[in-house]
Amino acid sequence: MDLTSKPQHVLDIASLSSEEINSFLELGEALKEVLKRPIPKVPTLRGRLVVLLFYEPSTRTRFSFDRAAKALSADTLTFSAKGSSIEKGESLLDTVKNLKAIGAELIVIRHPMEGAPHFIAKHINIPVVNAGDGTHEHPTQALLDLLTVKEKFGDFSGLKVAILGDIKHSRVAKSDILAFQKMGAKVYVSGPAYLLPTPLEEEYFRIYPGGFKVCYDPKEAIRDADVVIALRVQKERHGKPLIPSFIEYQTFFGLTFKELELIKKGALLMHPGPINWGVELSPEVEQYPFQVILDQVENGVAIRMAILLKLLTDGKTYEVTH
């Protein structure tokens, strides 16, 4: 498999072309075979050091990157702000410089400040992967979401993707909105009016005419959808209460089997996690036959393997038979 289309960093979906996105998806698909082997590991990145620099809590993303690196035989170091020199006043840039000095060859960073991955990418000459920066973007989540949808539908042309929830504060939503449009799908979003994009933001997110629409009625967003992505309410980013109660949110915007009657037959139900059952999703919909939430988690490992491989192999050729 030719890896000659090699990006230097993965900082956001906005800066990736559809060709670059597709190359990640194709490699991710191929690498899933490795994860199904009796010994799910290849030696491709043996001796390489990947640092997981997480300033915010994470379960799926952090462990997924760790699993991806180890499946490629890379070594990993996991950093958390608590208990580090951050508590003594060390800056982000100094932290990164020190990690590079001890041998880091790629840094995966999650940070509460928008633009933090872009900042360090300008100051160090090793690849940087954005694992979520504030409310800006979460590009690797969008890539694994694309892979999950591609496995079901083959391509994205003409698909209607509905995203429901706290769009304004969700980095996943922003990456998904751009990613699905770049691959040919149409994206509809809905949620409480004060958690939706402003008209100016709506223009920014619309990549092509008719490609993006803000719906104030969630039924309009999900009607005849091929894919429905539910999001949690990001109360930790609100600063002040923006919803009266979770009960009220669930009443108007939560998904039950009744709402799922509006979507296309065989449409996918997705969620990036963590899920607040009984808020954005009724517990009963876990039994929906086309719910693919754990498929997303599985695909997260494969797509992150693809990202690490592309950024660290200098465009060499990789065969999954290794």
CA–CA separation, 234 and 279 (whole Å): 12
pLDDT in tens, the chain (322 residues): 444 445 699 999 999 999 999 999 999 999 999 999 999 999 999 999 999 999 999 999 999 999 999 999 999 999 877 767 777 789 999 999 999 999 999 999 999 999 999 999 999 999 999 999 999 999 999 999 999 999 999 999 999 999 999 999 999 999 999 999 999 999 999 999 989 999 999 999 999 999 999 999 999 999 999 999 999 987 666 666 567 677 888 898 999 999 999 999 999 999 999 999 999 999 999 999 999 999 999 999 999 999 999 999 964 545 555 5
Do residue 76 and residue 169 come from a single domain? Answer: no
Q: How many domains does the chain have?
A: 2
Annotated binding-site ranges for L-aspartate:
88, 171, 232
Annotated binding-site ranges:
60-61, 88, 110, 138, 141, 171, 232, 273-274
What is the structure's pLDDT at 254? 94
Type of residue at 3: L
Do residue 129 and residue 146 come from a single domain? Answer: no
Which residues, 6 or more positions from 119, have their beta carbon under 8 angstroms from its beta carbon?
92, 93
User: Cα-flanking dihedrals φ and ψ of residue 283, to 5°?
Assistant: -55, -30
Do residue 123 and residue 179 come from a single domain? Answer: no
Question: Does the residue 8 lie in any domain?
Answer: no
Question: Does the residue 5 lie in any domain?
Answer: no
Distance set, CA 115 to CA 11, 15, 95, 134 (Å): 9, 13, 16, 8
pTM for the model: 0.93
Do residue 183 and residue 147 come from a single domain? Answer: yes
Question: Which residue segment(s) compose the domain that 244 sits in?
Answer: 141-293
Do residue 52 and residue 175 come from a single domain? Answer: no
Question: Does the residue 125 lie in any domain?
Answer: yes
Do residue 108 and residue 195 come from a single domain? Answer: no
| CA-closest candidate to residue 293, choices 135, 141, 137 | 141
Do residue 308 and residue 267 come from a single domain? Answer: no
Question: Does the residue 319 lie in any domain?
Answer: no
What is the structure's pLDDT at 87? 72
Question: Does the residue 3 lie in any domain?
Answer: no
Which residues, 6 or more positions from 151, have their beta carbon under 8 angstroms from its beta carbon?
29, 295, 299
Do residue 40 and residue 182 come from a single domain? Answer: no
What is the structure's pLDDT at 4? 46
Question: Does the residue 318 lie in any domain?
Answer: no
Do residue 119 and residue 105 come from a single domain? Answer: yes
Do residue 237 and residue 150 come from a single domain? Answer: yes
Annotated binding-site ranges for carbamoyl phosphate:
60-61, 110, 138, 141, 273-274
Distance set, CA 124 to CA 19, 73, 87, 294 (Å): 26, 24, 23, 35
Which residues, 6 or more positions from 318, have their beta carbon under 8 angstroms from its beta carbon?
1, 3, 27, 44, 309
Do residue 221 and residue 277 come from a single domain? Answer: yes
Question: Does the residue 9 lie in any domain?
Answer: no
| CA-closest candidate to residue 167, choices 179, 175, 159 | 175
CATH of the domain at 77: 3.40.50.1370
Between strands 49-54 and 186-190, the pairing is unpaired
Question: Does the residue 7 lie in any domain?
Answer: no
Do residue 288 and residue 145 come from a single domain? Answer: yes
